[in-house]
Structure 1
Amino acid sequence: MRTRPLKVALLGCGVVGSEVARIMTTHADDLTQRIGAPVELAGVAVRRPSKVREGIDPSLITTDATALLKRGDIDIAIEVIGGIEPARALITTAFEQGISVVSANKALLAQDGAALHAAAEAAGLDLYYEAAVAGAIPLVRPMRESLAGDKINRVMGIVNGTTNFILDKMDSTGAGYQEALDEATALGYAEADPTADVEGYDAAAKAAILAGIAFHTRVRLDDVSREGMTEVSAADFASAKRMGCTIKLLAILERAADGESVTARVHPAMIPLSHPLASVREAYNAVFVEAEAAGRLMFYGPGAGGAPTASAVLGDLVAVARNKLAEATGPGESAYTQLPVSPMGDVVTRYHISLDVADKPGVLAQVATTFAEHGVSIDTVRQQGKDGEASLVVVTHRAPDAALSGTVEALRKLDTVRGVASIMRVEGE
């Protein structure tokens, strides 16, 4: 066994970074045995050096991350800063210094993953990022290694714990959106500004990363169609229950039937209670992968939090350290297919549409005609009327999203339609 330690620079020491440092210290002997050499925390780059960090030697703390990377003895950098800058510049500097990188930065990888992979490959170094998607759940490495010999056709998952907690509370207690959000905030599941979660930005970044791995093509954050969940209401859950469904914020990645393109999207959707994702509760994540040979696979577990995310970071650290000792690198970017990403309008899906309409003869026929004019077939209709007003709930058969969206816009223009109360896709059937 090698006795000279592999030296690690930790960039960022927040909730995740402090857990990484703690585990590296408390499990040092085990890590040595698993890797074949000791790993030593050689420096910790932070913004606020005066903050007390229990269990971390104060002499390791620095505010100059660039100098830490350039000091000449660092083997591996762990980046848990988040955001685009200075994380991008620091990872680039690490590669220039011959340092392999473990990152948990979903936003940066979704935006600039191709450039970072190219820089790592040019330098003959590793870029690992299991912790960037779904926290502790082993997902990235199984998809890009264990399933490397298979063909993945579809990935559908819950990849944001905050939104799943909110929707689960709305479903189980009948709470409204704001009430459930307030509870999530009080329990620490939601940030003071929950926009990145509830508007789907966080899930979209993860979707871009997973799509690139699943389909061996470059998918950027801008390629992912995104809709938030702030408009989901208690009435939507009531409708879902009547259909034997619940509502989840889903990331859905699909290969076209002809294999010539892919789609990537994030939006709330109704899914049948019989689907495995329907039973994912609280702040848990789960990802459903459909592969040609392996069939359907389910990955489930805690998707966030300091300790779970640190577990994924440490798993990458062990893999990268072993590669260092073997003077080898693990799998890099696989983008050989160069498939185009189709727009949301090309996606074939189903709609659940709630309309407020006038309660008079001929309304249903007029609505049905509008659907027919746009080439959309109706599956079921439910109508309730009282005192000159009525609600009409229509569930469609599968059709291109563009046709469904066009139908909704035409319905809004009908004199007999007083409003479109809600629109939601139906998935997972």
Structure 2
Amino acid sequence: MSVVDSQIDRRWDQLHTWGPYGLLVIGLVPAVATADPHAAPAKWYTGWALVGVAVVLQLGWHGIRLRRPGRGRTPSRTGAVYYVVRWALAFVLTWLNPFFAFYAASGYMDADETIPGRRWQRLGLLASAATVAGAQAGGMPFGSAVQWAVFAALLVANSGLQMVVAHLTDQEAQRSRERTATIAELERTNAALQQALDENAALHAQLLVQAREAGVADERRRLAAEIHDTLAQGLTGIIAQLQVVANTPDRQAAREHVDRAVDLARHSLGEARRSVHNLAPVALENDGLPEALKKTVAEWGERTAVRAEFTVTGTAEQLHEEVAATLLRIAQEALSNAARHAHATRVGVTLSFMGDEVSLDIRDDGRGFDPLALPARTRAGGFGLDGIRARAERIAGSLTLESEPGHGTAVSARVPLVRDDR
């Protein structure tokens, strides 16, 4: 409960506690001022005695409210007895002097908090309205039919007004209860949401750790593939050439094999430098992904003497560094595979921005292969395509491979478009 709600409840409690005292005094003052000094003493004694009983009744009810704060505002049999006795005192006092109808009006304030049952509450309000209407009609007892007619009209007016007020009060109370229930439900929902966010943050942190570990494993596999497919094969060729030199007496033949060994060594050195360069996407330090891919494709074409073309479709956007680095490395590995295995004469690379996705397609017109035989190729040492797939899946992407012997190969990587918010 808010501070404002607490203050409102405290003020209502004070009104219900001290309101009957105030209404009794408001009725007593004009009643005494307008009383007939020559009236019978018994009437005076009766009036003052009833006022005293009313004060004692209020003090007793006040004591109950103090001892039982919750019971004081909850309908009960004790509350109903208090309401009936107070109404009877107010009715007799109003019979003696109409100004005591102010005290009878206190029944309007707390019928819903003292009388159990909605039907009995309405009956209590009707009884209070009858007392007030009797005073408004000129005081009781009535001396003419006109007074009775006026009383009936005033009773209907007072009762109708009270019923309308009671109905509106019930609606407001219902809305208040619904608001309280809604606030409580929102608090529970917020608590559950916060717990879910905390769990999601912990899961996200765990996934990042796993992703880093998977990335390290992928890099190790890629480096193993690079070493196996380039350096190891190059060193094997160098050893084979040198063995021929050692076993041939022909100086001319030995010279040719030495030259071949030197060429293989230079090529292996270049492959080693390229592998080290690919450990970090240096090409993205100063350029966006389209520019970096364009340079990469151009350099690859010059190095391999293969016609290579690069195309961008859609509206280019600045990608998150992890997405850009992943796509660049996928392109580098796909081109490397094309250079080593495809024997292609033409290669096309297309970067497509498609709303919520980015697609990278690498196509060549090389000799192709049977994709169903890919697992056997992997066991034999071909790490490239598995590395590409692992890279794409690590950022929630996917890889599609299409190839047929003699009809080239097409590799398509599709990843979510995550923008760089920096």
TM range (shorter): under 0.3
Q: Quick check: which one's strand share is greater?
A: 1
Task: Select the structure with the greater relative contact order (CA < 8 A; seq sep ≥ 6).
Answer: 1
Structure of larger gyration radius: 2
